[in-house]
Structure formats: structure tokens, C-alpha cells
Structure 1
Amino acid sequence: MGSGHSSDKFHCNRYLSGQGPPSLVQQATQEVNGKFNTLNGCQPEGQMTWVILHKDLPGFPDDNTLQINYIFPDGIQTDKHPHPGQPFAGLRLCAYLPDNREGRRVLKLLDKAFNKKLLFTVATNNEGEDVVTTASIPLKTQIEGASGAVGYPDSQYLKTLRKLLRNEGIE
């Protein structure tokens, strides 16, 4: 190489087969390097924390309970929400997992999903108000005395939750 020449190449041999690079949509939704890329969801800004309760969940008699606290303040909707520029009501919600190996694993997955803004969204409720609500991932919001949909016992919940999170690209 003479002076004024760079050892850097200004072309890419990768696409000489006649195919161009994948589109941004393809890149966002297809498997890349063994990991699934997902676009962030439309969850408003909020906070996720957790604590250990020294109480067992029905169906998990030998384990403590992980209480996950989600807090979303009132806010203004963005272009990802049903009525951009309009206010929405916030949310305070507690969800529960057994404090065992599998429950801790799912907690980490829920944290990833929360950070990718996939767990909650803004939607219009039956009264016509725009509110923060759960998206497509079901959360157990009752410890006991509720149906299997929102409470315990539910022996398949952790397995089902992992599968749903995997479908969203969270592993």
C-alpha cells in the first residue's frame, strides 16, 4: 500500500451473491447469532421491584413467596398507545411467584421482559378510560382464594409463563 491508501476496504464481499442485507424488520424478528432479537413493546415508564414474603403459595408448601411490585405513574400516551397526547391512569400491581429455583429463573425472565417493555401496555377499559394494563403475559396477582387464572394453586404456571416469554423472544 502506498501513501494515501488505506488498508481498510470500502466494499463488502458478503452480499456479492446478489442478495442485499436483510431489512430492519427481518433483522428485528429473525434469529441472529443464536439469540432472538425483539423490538421493544409499548409499555409506559414504570418500576419493577421484588421482595421475599415468608409465606408459602398454595401448591408450593416448602417455598417462600416472591412478591413482584409494579408501579406506573399516571402519564401521557405516546404514538405507540391508542390516543397519543392524551392522559392515562397509572397502575400499582403485585404479582407472585414461588421462591424456588424455577421461580427465581422466571423472575429473571420477567425482569428482561419488563426492561424490553413487553409486560404492560396502555389500553381503553370498559368505562372508556385509558389505563395501564397487562399485555399478553399473564401474571398471578392473588396468592390464594382466586381462580387459577389470577391465583394459586397452578402447577403449570411457571412452565406456561416460560413458554409465553420465549414466544416473545425472552430466554
Structure 2
Amino acid sequence: MGSNHSSGKHHCNQYLNGQGPPSLVQQATDEVNEKYKGLNGGQPAGQMTWVILHKDLPGFPSDNTVQISFIFPDGVQTDKHPHPGQPFAGRRLTAYLPDNHEGRKVLKLLDRAFNQQLLFTLSTNKEGEDVITTKSIPLKTETERGGSGDGYPDSDYLRTVRKLLRDAGVQ
């Protein structure tokens, strides 16, 4: 038989040894965990804090503003990053939400996603530098819409972010 044992034979051998094959639930869980392994844990160590600013965002004239700060110190990449053992530069990022019922819900969800390491990752940019970037959850990093579109007004933003977070398993 040599080294060409199939995984099916491996399960069969385990069964003969009294351990039995993995259940369908376990096989599915293992497959899902393998598929999404890269999505969890790639976020560098950092801190998320927020304060309330007594000013409104465009499109939310009667609400204050939640200012969220993300702070990542300089660090060394792990095996979950593009170049393990290599240093990377830290980053400070500020995001904004309206301070209303929906904005507070999104803030709680973003906090959960941050703690589950789902918001940021290290990736290699066009210049070949490894930088901290957002994953698939967009953040409003400007209070007003500039050329980048990362600001307000944006009447669909809170709904869109809640859906993306829900799709990522954050509820």
C-alpha cells in the first residue's frame, strides 16, 4: 500500500481500530473550517475604541456621530499572513457611524467582528508592501463624501454593512 493511502482508507483503518469513521456532521464541519480558515485569525493584534462627537453626519442631521478608532501597532507577521516572520507597519484608521438606533446596532456588530478578527487582514499591495487592510466589510472613513466615496451621505450604508456582517456570521 505504501504512502498512497486515500483518506477513505484512513477512515476505514480508524474504523477497524475501533474509532469509527467521522460523522457526516464532523466531515461537513471540517470542510467548512478548512474553507474559511483563512478568514479567521489573520487580523493583526490591535485595539478598537469609540467616542461620541457632537456633530451630525450628512444625511443624519438630527444625530450625533460615533467616531471609531482602530489602532494597530507595528508587528511581525505570523503564519496567517503573507510573509511570516517579516515585520509590518502599524496603522491607525478612523471610521464613522450615525449615533442613532441603527448606528448603535452596527457599532455592536463591528465590535463583535473586530473581536472575531473579521474586519482587517494583512495583504500585499501593488508596491509589494504588506499592509493592514479591511477584509470584506466596508468602513466609512470620511464624514463627507469625497472622491473616494468613503463618506456620507449614504442612505444604504447601515443596511449594507448589517447584511455583510450577517453573511460573515456576525449577528
* SS across alignment from 2:104: helix
Q: CA separation in 1, counterparts of 2:120 and 2:53? A: 24
Matched, 1:162 2:157: no
1:20 offset after TM fit, Å?
A: 2.0
- For residue 111 of structure 1, what is the amino acid of its counterpart? D
Matched, 1:120 2:120: yes
Q: CA separation in 2, counterparts of 1:78 and 1:24? A: 28
Question: CA RMSD for the aligned pairs?
Answer: 2.1
Q: Structure 1 stretches of 5 or more lacking a match?
A: 1-17, 31-38
Aligned to 1:15: none
Change (3 A) 1:116 1:84: same
Change (3 A) 1:59 1:28: farther
Q: CA separation in 1, counterparts of 2:75 and 2:22? A: 45
Aligned to 1:23: 26
* SS across alignment from 2:159: helix
- What does residue range 147-158 of structure 1 map to in structure 2 within 5 Å? 147=147, 149-158=149-158
Aligned to 1:129: 129
Q: CA separation in 2, counterparts of 1:49 and 1:24? A: 39
CA contact (8 A) 2:120 2:132 kept: yes
Q: Structure 2 stretches of 5 or more lacking a match?
A: 1-20, 34-38
Aligned to 2:87: 87
Of 123-132 and 48-57, the range deviating more from structure 2: 123-132
* SS across alignment from 2:132: strand
Aligned to 2:56: 56
CA contact (8 A) 1:148 1:154 kept: no
Output the TM-score relative to the length of structure 2. 0.79
- For residue 73 of structure 1, what is the amino acid of its counterpart? P
Q: CA separation in 1, counterparts of 2:28 and 2:85? A: 27
* Deviation string, structure 1 residues 106-143 (Cα, Å, up to 9, x no partner): 00000000000000000112221111111111000000
CA contact (8 A) 2:145 2:153 kept: no
1:28 offset after TM fit, Å?
A: 8.4
Count of aligned pairs: 146
- For residue 122 of structure 1, what is the amino acid of its counterpart? L
Q: CA separation in 1, counterparts of 2:102 and 2:43? A: 26
1:41 offset after TM fit, Å?
A: 3.4
Q: CA separation in 1, counterparts of 2:29 and 2:132? A: 30
Q: Percent identity at matched positions? A: 68
Moved over 6 A (4+): none
1:148 offset after TM fit, Å?
A: 7.0
Of 148-157 and 64-73, the range deviating more from structure 2: 148-157
CA contact (8 A) 1:46 1:70 kept: yes
